Amino acid sequence: MDSNLPCLLLFVLVGWVESSSDNVTRHFDYCVLGAGPSGLQMGHFLSKAKRDYIILERNAGPGSFFHKYPRHRKLISINKIHTGRQNQEFNLRHDWNSLLSDRRDLLFKRVSSEFYPPADAYPLYLSLFEKELGLRVRYGVDIGRIRATQSATGRSYVLTDQHASDYKCSVLLVATGLWVPQQVEFVGSELVEGYESISTNPDDYRDQAVLILGKGNSAFETAQSIMGRASRVHMLSSSPVRLAWQTHYVGDLRAVNNELLDTYQLKSLDGLVEAQLEKMVIVQRKEEGRRRSGGNKTEKKKKKRHLYLTLNKYIQNQEKRNRSDATAEELPAYHIDNFSMRKSYDRVIRCLGFRFNFSVFDSSACPPNSENAKGRLPGVTAWYEGKKTPGLFVLGTAAHSRDHRQSAGGFIHGFRYTARAVHRVLEHRYHGNPWSSTKLLTTQLQSWILKRAGEASGTYQMFEVLGDVILLRGSHCQYVEEFPVQALPQFSALSGHEVSGQGLIVLVMQYGKKKIDFLGRNRAETDWTKAWKSNFLHPVLYYYDKLPTEEEIKLRPSGWPLPRPKALHHMVEDFLTEWDSPISHIQPLRRFLEHCVQTDLRAFYAESCFRWTLTHRKPPLFCQQGYLKQQGVVHDSRLWQHAHDAGLMPTEQDAGTSGADPAFPSYLAHTGAAVSSGLKLDL
């Protein structure tokens, strides 16, 4: 017998065992599909909660999208490191790249200090985030099919990779982002180059006429890169350009990319045009050119391809509309001699953005197309669960249909908070843990609202989408942070908190709805009596005596994040975004809160409380919860410690018999939130 035969048999057996092990179905409670920023963000929350999860990524490292995009390698997400503040929550308002974690040092500034960072820095940051938090990521797993199965234990999802291995999970969290180029079908589209494959070397466009389809940031980024070399750059889309500083939507054209607007408005050959892409045709004509050879002065004819834009209605032979060549009679200049785009182009480039990859889902697991965003995104509920796909949640940019062209949910500085909201939904639904909240005395509510308005980053970035919900319960209240406001009809089921008969207050950040000149003289409102006319971002409080219904959410006034409340309060916009002015901000807020809770919320010194106690049957709530429990007005932790050391504050032993409610966290008093009037907050 051949001496090599046993070795050969052993090799085959080992290979068979390994192959068999690859085909074993792996079970997890949670599968996160994609190791981009939203996938790693969710991975952190699952890891922190000690859940059974796996992150599956088809590439060799995290954030693979940023290895290629944006093509010209500059991010437009703000990286403002120096704010003059040490408050990390406040600083996240101006840090658009960092993910959320308990590590104060795990911020994007570790890899870049540039205000608009290089794109290559982001995969590096994500690698740090993954490794230093010990997230469970499996790379090189290319999921090609996702299907749903139903069993006695409930619905689950099965993901099949390129090796025919299955991953089965109870909850699927899709964090694949948008990476499939958006295309529009029209005659001649085969002559168009795509943003995903164009040359990024400006010299390749030297002295060329270029037509760019699209007017978003990718289109203007491309135009800005080549405008110094190209002979002319024209941009075409169905709608006029929208400027982010006018619309307050970060996905619209950012100033960092808009240099072509100068050359257009100052008439330097570049320009913008509006037309329906579906109605246009790109055709080519080969025209003869002449060039001289060597020194014999003989001329040779050379045919050069020229691309023209024309319209469907000018194509004469409708039966041959799929061809891309054209006669002179089919060009628009033949019909309109001053047609704006009558000259030929050397190149036409498509920059129309990206769409969600629906192809990996079979019919049992595929979420529907969104009703907005031209159906490019999956349709999801207000809590980011796929419509008609229970147990499948969409994270990150792909979940942007909830706030498309409204808020920041399609961008890192927005979806890091929506991912946290989804995790809180999961914790309650599958593990019985209610949405995290803070129990406050009603007299503490004003100070807490001012603190949140002045520093909270989640409601600030996800304005009109995430809001703080305050559950009123008489002498105390429950403060629930960053709840998706359009999910209020399902609040109790999603959060685990019940609404009492005394109602609730919702705090959201909003822009004004009136279209104005945002650089004009009267662009800002400073009169607190006209706070409802505020145009820039400002806090708005809605009071309801009961939860709004789904019908009320659906029929809310146009542009409103919530239906009409029983009472509404706008805090006047502030140039410094610090809503702490005694007359303009604090006093109107207190009056509104007093209307909602039907009690006096003023703060009193001990002498005033003493008089109230002697002269009134029922002293103000502040005196009941402060003075009558041996507590005076203490403004900050230093004064509190001084009073404690002087024996003016009750000891822990005394507190147990003084009637103080032990359910309230002791740290509130130390921060000054327990008894502060709100006139001065250490933010």
CA distances from 84 to 94, 105, 191, 433 (A): 12, 17, 52, 37
The letter for the amino acid at 56 is L
| Distance between CA atoms of residues 416 and 309, nearest Å | 42
Beta strands in 326-436 (DSSP E): 347-350, 354-355, 392-394
Closest CA to 188 of 307, 271, 55, 19: 307
In this structure, are residues 369 and 378 in contact, taking their beta carbons and an 8 Å threshold? yes
pLDDT at res. 143: 97
**CA count, 13 A, side-chain hemisphere, 581:** 15
**CA count, 13 A, side-chain hemisphere, 161:** 21
CA distances from 325 to 190, 286, 302, 310, 364 (A): 12, 9, 18, 11, 44
The letter for the amino acid at 359 is S
As a residue count, the chain comes to: 683
Structure tokens at 588: 């109107």
Question: Residue 379's CB: how many other CB atoms inside 10 A?
Answer: 19
Question: Which runs of consecutive H residues, i.e. helices, occur in 481-561?
Answer: 491-495, 550-554
pLDDT digits (tens, 9 = 90+) for 453-468: 999 999 999 999 999 9
The letter for the amino acid at 642 is H
Structure tokens at 381: 């509920």
pLDDT at res. 636: 61
SS3 of 286, please?
strand
**3-state per-residue secondary structure call for 633-656:** CCCCHHHHHHHHHCCCCCCHHHHC
CA distances from 581 to 271, 476, 526 (A): 47, 25, 12
The letter for the amino acid at 410 is G
pLDDT at res. 647: 62
Closest CA to 640 of 609, 666, 607: 666
Element (H, E) at 245: helix 244-247
| Distance between CA atoms of residues 189 and 210, nearest Å | 15
| Distance between CA atoms of residues 468 and 485, nearest Å | 8
Angle at 664 between CA 659 and CA 669, to 5 degrees: 90
| Distance between CA atoms of residues 58 and 152, nearest Å | 31
Q: pTM of the prediction?
A: 0.87
pLDDT at res. 324: 60
pLDDT at res. 322: 52
Closest CA to 345 of 306, 318, 389, 393: 306
The burial of 356, by beta-carbon neighbours within 10 Å (0-12 exposed, 13-18 middle, 19 or more buried), is given as buried
Structure tokens at 557: 């006034």
pLDDT at res. 433: 98
pLDDT at res. 285: 80
| Distance between CA atoms of residues 400 and 385, nearest Å | 12
| Distance between CA atoms of residues 58 and 177, nearest Å | 13
The answer, yes or no, to whether the previous bond of 650 is cis (omega within 30 of 0) is no
pLDDT at res. 352: 96
pLDDT lower than 70: segments of the chain: 1-22, 286-303, 318-324, 630-644, 646-683
What residue has token string 């109107």?
A: 588
pLDDT digits (tens, 9 = 90+) for 327-370: 888 898 889 999 999 999 999 999 999 999 999 999 999 999 99
Beta strand pairing call for 347-350 and 299-311? unpaired
The letter for the amino acid at 301 is K
